[in-house]
Amino acid sequence: MIASQGNAHRIMRHGLGAVVVAALLALEPAAASLEPRSAFESWLQEGDHAATFQEFTAFLGQRGLERVVEPWTLLRQGSSWRDARQPAFAFPPRALWPNIVPTLEALRDEIIPRVGPVQVWSGFRTREYNERAGGAARSSHLTLRGVDVVPMKQRSRAELHAILDGYWRSAEAKQRAVGIGFYRNDTGRFHVDAATRHRRW
């Protein structure tokens, strides 16, 4: 079901800016299932989540990557969390944290300069979430290598594909072993991972 104006106002109250709301509501109905920052803040109150998130943010900061995307969005499992009956957020094991570095570097250095700022719709996924949401068995989300993102600047599907396909064919993308994937029936969301295999789908 397409998100209503009421949902838009609810999202605004939870702290997302008008540009973000417009992009989310215009691009895909599933955006209505994305949990906002306020829900993440509530989740942080559970157990040692706050301390772990502080460590995760510090890890990104030490590598100059804390501002590529909002760190908390890397912990979003995806928009299918209700249907999957899984938590909206999850922490990757610490041993996996270095895996996100090449992907964030590719976003910062190559992709964001081409398409503008992006928001993460799906970052790390637990195996339980991934299976119930119908993800690939060897999804790079399971190892914190892959992210699904949406550009904050609205573009046509054809324009976005042309920009990203041009980048994917570049020497830089090949050197970084960047993978880029597009979703059917979705005008703006795309997948990025790095240091895996240079592939496109």
Q: What is the number of alpha carbons within 13 Å of residue 19 lying toward its C-beta?
A: 9
For residue range 68-112, list pLDDT tens digits in order: 999 999 999 998 899 889 999 999 999 999 999 999 999 999 999
In a domain, 120, yes or no: yes
Our count of domains for the chain comes to 1
Which residue segment(s) compose the domain that 140 sits in? 48-200
In a domain, 174, yes or no: yes
pLDDT, residue 14, reads 42
Residue 135 gets the label, from left (phi > 0), alpha (psi -120 to 50) or beta, of beta
In a domain, 22, yes or no: no
For residue range 44-77, list pLDDT tens digits in order: 999 999 999 999 999 999 999 999 999 999 999 9
In a domain, 61, yes or no: yes
pTM of the predicted protein model: 0.83
Q: What is the CATH number of the domain that holds 164?
A: 3.30.1380
Q: Which ranges of the chain would DSSP assign to H, the alpha helix? A: 5-13, 18-27, 37-44, 49-62, 81-84, 100-106, 112-115, 127-132, 157-168, 171-176
Scan for tokens 């064919």, then name that residue: 169
